[in-house]
Amino acid sequence: MEVKQCDFCRMPYQSMGKRICMDCMLKLDEDFIEIREYLYEHDRAGIEEVSEATGVSRKSILYLLKEERLIVGDEHGRGCGILKCESCKKSISTGRMCESCKQEVFAAIQESVGAVRKPKRITQEMLEEESLRGVAKLQLK
């Protein structure tokens, strides 16, 4: 095990591959449940509204968005400027990178390990389906 700094609380912890400590992971799981329950009754609520109603911090909500546990966007599923791709700065609805940048990274990894087959084109629908399995329809506006 290696000692790392938690991405969320910035405290040192013994890492087993995760980017956050166990305390923050448990707290974020509790926060996610609170948000999920609120969104079941208030579909497409704004970040500020969700934060105020649930007591979950904006920081926690943004972290859950980047971890692809929530999505944010307009009624057409497009990002609304809250999240930006960390590579090209395009507006995204969840995660850290847009679909095209993910494709480029995936292709580069495949090429670097000498993969013979062409990588399957990943669609936005596939990414959203995978990241939201079991919590489909959860969105923040």
pLDDT for 56 equals 95
- For 66-117, the pLDDT digits (tens) are 999 988 876 555 556 788 899 999 888 889 998 899 999 988 888 887 655 5
pLDDT for 117 equals 56
- For 114-137, the pLDDT digits (tens) are 655 555 666 666 665 555 444 444
Q: What's the maximum distance between 2 C-alpha atoms anywhere in the chain?
A: 51
Beta-ladder partners of 97: none
The model's pTM is 0.70
Beta-ladder partners of 52: none
- What CA–CA distances, in Å, run from 97 to 2, 74, 83, 88? 27, 18, 9, 8
pLDDT for 32 equals 94
- For 9-66, the pLDDT digits (tens) are 999 999 888 889 999 999 999 999 999 999 989 887 888 899 999 999 999 999 999 9
Which residue is listed with tokens 């500020």? 48
